Amino acid sequence: MDRSTAERLMSLYVRLLDPLNEAASAIGELSDPDEQKRLLRSLALIAGRVSTDLIGPIAQEYPDLYPHTEAAEPLPSLSAEELALVSRLSEKDIRLIDDALVAEADTRWRKVARIVGFAMGKLTRIPGIPDVFYAQRVRQLVEAGRLESQGNLDYMRFGEVRLPSGELKTQVS
């Protein structure tokens, strides 16, 4: 692909992610958990495809076109409201989140943002939990040896994780 086309496509793809993020917020306000789950799962698949299938190849060929400035902020701390929500999670809920994160991992390196996004899309029965909490759980899974990491886990788009050598991939429904 020539550079001019890559620049144009990258700009379009990045702009495409903003409405998807807005849609996720709107879906999070729905009162029907089954409807939330269905819509968030579909949205997570779309966002994941945009990131991995459209943005990824261009970023590999032209790394300087990747929008690093968007991800220049490290993971924020949880707000008081988010902390209150997270504090109501049971041990079973946290295990479900951890298992969903591990199930999204592979033996190949994957961006933490991808792992978090897909896990959130599949695990909508625990609504309202922010992506930052999921990212914090990824770090704890690394510390526990359930995942290996490279890069900077303080930035979801700059950190990558994978299953430890010899680990088999499992499915979480």
User: In terms of residue numbers, what domain contains 149?
Assistant: 74-173
Whether 57 and 138 map to the same domain: the answer is no
122 and 44 Cβ atoms separated by less than 8 Å: yes
What tokens does 164 get?
């430890």
Edge-first strand listing for the sheet containing 110-111 = 110-111, 159-162, 148-151
17 and 50 Cβ atoms separated by less than 8 Å: yes
**DSSP-derived pairing of the beta strands 148-151 and 110-111:** unpaired
Whether 85 and 138 map to the same domain: the answer is yes
Among residues 12, 41, 72, the one where a domain terminates is 72
Q: Cβ neighbours of residue 28 under 8 Å, at least 6 residues apart? A: 36, 40, 127, 128
For the entire predicted model, the pTM comes to 0.59
What is d(CA 23, CA 40) in angstroms, rounded to the nearest whole number?
9
Whether 26 and 102 map to the same domain: the answer is no
| pLDDT (tens place) for every residue of the chain, 173 residues total | 899 998 998 888 878 877 887 787 788 788 888 888 788 778 777 877 777 677 778 877 787 777 554 444 677 888 888 898 899 999 999 999 999 999 999 999 998 988 998 898 888 777 788 889 999 999 999 999 999 998 888 878 778 899 997 655 544 44
Whether 33 and 57 map to the same domain: the answer is yes
What tokens does 38 get?
């269905």
